[in-house]
Amino acid sequence: MGIFKYFFRTRDKPQNKMSGSTYNFLTGISSSGSKVNEKTAMQMTAVYSCVRVLSETLASLPIHIYEVTNNKREKAINHPLYKVLHDEPNPEMTSFIFRETLMSHLLLWGNAYAQIIRNGRGEVLGLYPLMPDKMTVDRDDSGHIYYEYKSSGMGGESIKLSESDVLHIPGLGFDGLVGYSPIAMAKNAIGMAIATEEYGAKFFSNGATPSGILEHPGTVKNPQAMRESWSKGFSGNNAHKVAILEEGMKYTPISISPNEAQFLETRKFQINEIARIFRVPPHMVGDLEKSSFSNIEQQSLEFVKYTLDPWVSRWEQAITKKLLSDEEKQKYSIKFNVDGLLRGDYQSRMNGYAVGRQNGWMSANDIRALENLDMISKEDGGDLYLVNGNMLPLKNAGAFANIEEKEKEDGKSEEEVLELSKKKNKKQKRRS
């Protein structure tokens, strides 16, 4: 045990930066000059759409606690944690709102935190979200992780929480303890999208009139007054008015037009760039350029498999680790149900059900449950598992059935009878 204590004491503290480097993965001014943080990023429609798609999708998935008994898996609706996860994590939130909030924190800050409220027996009574930007993760002298939360409602005092009191879902990180903010990691790409949007807004607020040079053949006594007079008369709401130039003055535009600067192409590329950060298919954020009726269903399935599944695994494992005791982990499991997202069109589902029904591994009630239909009573055969009549047990088929009784009387096993049947079939083929 002394070795393990030494190991935990010498482990690095959780930190949001690269070890041995002064570069921090923090939000701030990007290379384009635009300020990027979680709030300014959410003002970008592409970022907002990606966060909303992932948060709402995960929040809408049914979450259940299952108990495995006698090789059967059943919903443990009587478990104290079932209502907390499935219905109401706390009196102020539904399960959907709670998971949507934590998922948005996870996507923007790279970490999601919730305070765990327990009773005297250690059972979870409630979960309350905590803001990631007010949370600090640290390690004490004994090597144990603890959380320090700066509350805004108690005079700015910090509250120290033990590891068992916080549900922490970390995103991608280098130490496995604290996740890095996707917004901070990709602040230059998001900053460029913000810069192009600001450029377009300023361009059109100026009446889409480019700046230029006013040339005067003589000497201008007050250039500042002339500049202000020109801007007041021929920009903004007064743009596109006919300008009258006196005293031989000449106007020469010098700005590059948005078309020449590939303004629209840049904005479109940045939308795809942001979608790439969150691994969201472009058609789910409104870009249908490369989508069609033939491939959009496949792209939606890939979204579930390659985008949503990793997040679901993070949630399931974090909840299991923090909210279930070691004894409960042996017989209980927490799972999100993604079957609804993987459902095909009506014809494909019916064909799949027909195969399952005809081959005996689905009953009528199994199918009706998946389609949210009322159950058929047991008396009417709703729970029967049927197979086609031409599928017989091997012992009743062909030459094997003809010799079965005689050979069994001689004390031969089923395997020996089957081997004799094969030899007799070979002899018959040779004779023919």
Co-location of 219 and 297 in the same domain: no
Q: Where are the beta strands (DSSP E) in 271-413?
A: 332-336
Residue 22: predicted pLDDT: 39
Co-location of 400 and 304 in the same domain: no
Q: Is residue 352 part of a domain?
A: no
Q: Is residue 363 part of a domain?
A: no
Q: Is residue 243 part of a domain?
A: yes
In this prediction, the residues of the chain whose per-residue pLDDT falls under 50 are: 1-8, 18-23
pTM: 0.70
DSSP 21: -
Residue 393: predicted pLDDT: 63
Residue 3: predicted pLDDT: 46
Range of the domain at 79: 1-210+259-342
Residue 20: predicted pLDDT: 38
Last residue of a domain, one of 317, 342, 367: 342
Co-location of 89 and 189 in the same domain: yes
Asked if 178 and 185 count as a contact pair (C-beta separation under 8 A), the reply is no
Q: Half-sphere exposure of 145 toward its Cβ, with a 13 Å CA cutoff?
A: 16
Q: Write the pLDDT tens digit of every residue in 214-224.
A: 666 666 666 67
Residue 312: predicted pLDDT: 94
Asked if 249 and 243 count as a contact pair (C-beta separation under 8 A), the reply is no
Produce one character per residue of 280-316: b if its CB has 16 or more CB atoms within 10 Å, e if not.
bbbbbbebeeeeeeeeeeeebeebeeebbeebbebbe
What distance in Å separates the CA atoms of residue 281 and residue 303, rounded to the nearest whole number? 7
Contact partners, residue 325, CB within 8 Å, separation at least 6: 122
What distance in Å separates the CA atoms of residue 149 and residue 113, rounded to the nearest whole number? 10
- What is the four-CA torsion angle of 108, 111, 112, 116, rounded to 10 degrees? -160
Co-location of 178 and 91 in the same domain: yes
